[in-house]
Chains A and B, each alone.
Chain A
Amino acid sequence: MTDTVIEMEGVGKRYTKYDDQPTLMNALRIRQRTKRSHLWAVRGVSLEINRGESVGVLGRNGAGKSTMLQMLAGVTAPTEGVVRVNGRVAPLISVGVGFHPELTGRENVYVNGTVLGMDRATVDRRFDNIVQFAELEHFIDTPVKFYSSGMFVRLGFAVAVEADPDILLVDEILAVGDFAFQLRCFERMEAIRSQGSTLVVVSHNLNAVRGFCDRTVLLHQGEKVFDGPTFEGIGRYYQLLGQSPREEDDSPLPGQTGRERDTLEIEGFELRSGAGRPTAHVHSGDECVFRIHARALRAVEQPFVGITVASESGVAVYSDTNRQDPLPSLKEGERATFDVTVRASLAQGGFTASASVHRRRGDGSILLARAEPLQFFVSGRGMVSGIADLGGEFSLGQAP
């Protein structure tokens, strides 16, 4: 048996877009009046994936990622070329496939497990593991229609990873579920992978792809434009994002006078706790650090950072820059981290941080790169609500 588990050769998938649906009447008509146009969702993609590899598939919306996963899952056949998949595939394209709302969690585990290729005895054996992983000991005999969306996803994921797939196809699902569960999913996927399974991850969550995949395939308008180390792939992905017209709408920093690509590349943007550990969860009032990992593609004079923290509802809570006090210059090829240390004087809730790196030019500034926004959660003090925690102290004073 070869070590190649997935092989695609010149694969293309063409969708036919009917301007009017094929109906019985149209089919019976001799003259073909249906207007149709063709759309290649994927074209000319060739690649090989070996056992135990973990490959990220990146691309903007409509780049053909989902079509590719569907072909790997065998759900749809390619229009041209060959897809060969060697082994059992568990598609996490969406978890809980075949879950029935009226049935209990227990019953659905059996149904879903069988759908994913386990026999009854295997499900019996692994049932406790599944329930434990999903943290649903108390709800396993409740119909799943009463489950929260998080519980639903947890159970679905738990079954899928217990199915011992040779190939795990992971779509955006990791965006669901709470943070703690996401971490456990990652651990679990890592474990599966170390047992020799192959992972294909499609995600906009670059942190997930970066943490997981050694190799990245970048799709653009249905074609493979990059296949190589993830590190480089993410950079290429950003370049593609940078070309998108949408990004130009982003509100520029006051005084911004230009945009320069290919000068500096942001390789990562993360939140670290006061103790210096990467985190996505801080306590209100704690000190924490937003860290930007950057690489200067050319020499950068007087770089500075812009940062914005917004609440879940999109209200900008804090926006700041060190434009007046830029940082030391970077040499060509130099890697550096920009740190913004803040005190999280925020009330409980989810927040989004976005950051960008600029350089000064005369009185104005030039945007060099923008980091993928970062989501994090703040646990607040008991009675505080709102967006910010101003740390009020309550006291009684004597009236004059």
Chain B
Amino acid sequence: MRQLLRDLWRARPVLAVLARKEFYARYRRTSLGILWAVGLPLLQASVLAVVFTRIVHFSSAIHRTNGVHVSYPVFLYAGLTAWSFFTSNMPGASTAIVDSANLARKIYFPRALFPLLVVTTGIYPLVIGTGVLFALVLALQHHIGIEFLWVVPAAALTVAITAGLGLVLSALHVYFRDVRFLVQAVMSVLFYLSPIIYSLNAAPGTLGKFVAYGPMAGPIELFRLATVGADHGWITAVVAGLCWFVVSTFFGLLLQSRYDRVFVDLM
């Protein structure tokens, strides 16, 4: 595993240049370019905000435990910032090794580079999305403080968990092609089981615990902490998130270093 980490470290410039390439290639022929990366989560947030305030009649300002009123759209978008990174990169990361067969068959890099590449490429939109969050907080809450800096660990944890899971799933996907669909299925369920449209303590009992232990609960709560204030029990969620990161990264690197040079035989 140490060898793998050394090789990965050495492959940094390749990672950087390939990430830039992916990024440019993705937005090159679009008129709106990077705006799409920001626009889509924003659109989703707007729709959800309209649905839940106008149709389902949540109040557009929700009360926090400390009695402060916060804007529901901001609350929502804070969660979506983490979630949209996860949902737009997890499927790609989990199929990354097989998808790069063309490159992988011809030249050697640690295969772990490929899921990490997908995740790295996703960082640009995440940064911009965080900027939008900043603007939203300013526009709708008229107050922003030093606590906004929590977005840094929030974003870092989001990326780290996705990368860790990407390492595990991309290795498994080489052997079990079901992984692709499994990921899609889990993503669609996990959206509702993560505290995005509701707050962490909204779900009762066992279900509530389950929500807090989900992979994205920690990052979402950190984004909330930066903007509208975290829900009760956020520390549990963040600790769970750190566990997701550590455990998945460990097993991911284990699998990657074990099968690094034989993946290609199955592609």
Convert A274-318 into 0s and 1s, putting 1 for each residue whose CB lies closer than 8 angstroms to a CB of B.
000000000000000000000000000000000000000000000
Main secondary structure of the interface of A (DSSP, over half): loop
Contact status B103-A98, CB under 8 Å: yes
Q: Is B264 at the interface (CB under 8 A from chain A)?
A: yes
Which of B13, B17, B24, B25: most chain A Cβ within 10 A? B17
Convert B90-112 into 0s and 1s, putting 1 for each residue whose CB lies closer than 8 angstroms to a CB of A.
00000000000001111110000
Contact status B13-A103, CB under 8 Å: no
Find chain B residues with CB under 8 A from A93 CB: 105-107
Convert B169-205 into 0s and 1s, putting 1 for each residue whose CB lies closer than 8 angstroms to a CB of A.
0000001111100000000000000000000000000
Contact status B176-A76, CB under 8 Å: no
Given that A103-B21, A115-B14 are known contacts, is A22 also in contact with B262, CB under 8 Å in the complex?
Answer: no
Convert B16-30 into 0s and 1s, putting 1 for each residue whose CB lies closer than 8 angstroms to a CB of A.
011001001100110
Nearest CB of chain A from residue B179's CB, rounded to whole Å: 8
Q: Is A340 at the interface (CB under 8 A from chain B)?
A: no
Number of interface residues of A (CB under 8 A): 29
Contact status A111-B106, CB under 8 Å: no
Interchain CB contact (< 8 A) of B28 among A94, A102, A115: A102
**Which chain B residues (1-35) contact chain A, with CB distance < 8 Å?**
13-14, 17-18, 21, 24-25, 28-29
Contact status B24-A91, CB under 8 Å: no
Q: A15-B265, A115-B14 are in contact. List 15 more A-B contacts (CB 8 A).
A: A22-B175, A22-B176, A23-B177, A73-B107, A73-B108, A74-B108, A75-B105, A75-B107, A75-B264, A91-B107, A98-B107, A100-B25, A102-B25, A102-B29, A116-B107
User: Which residue of chain A lies nearest to B24 when distances are taken between CB atoms in the complex?
Assistant: A103
* 9 A-B pairs with least C-beta separation: A77-B261, A74-B108, A114-B17, A24-B178, A24-B176, A102-B25, A97-B106, A76-B264, A111-B21
In the bound complex, what is the Cα–Cα distance between A97 and B175 (angstroms)?
Answer: 24
Nearest CB of chain A from residue B134's CB, rounded to whole Å: 31
In the bound complex, what is the Cα–Cα distance between A119 and B13 (angstroms)?
Answer: 8
Q: Is A389 at the interface (CB under 8 A from chain B)?
A: no
Nearest CB of chain A from residue B177's CB, rounded to whole Å: 7
User: Which residue of chain B lies nearest to A14 when distances are taken between CB atoms in the complex?
Assistant: B265
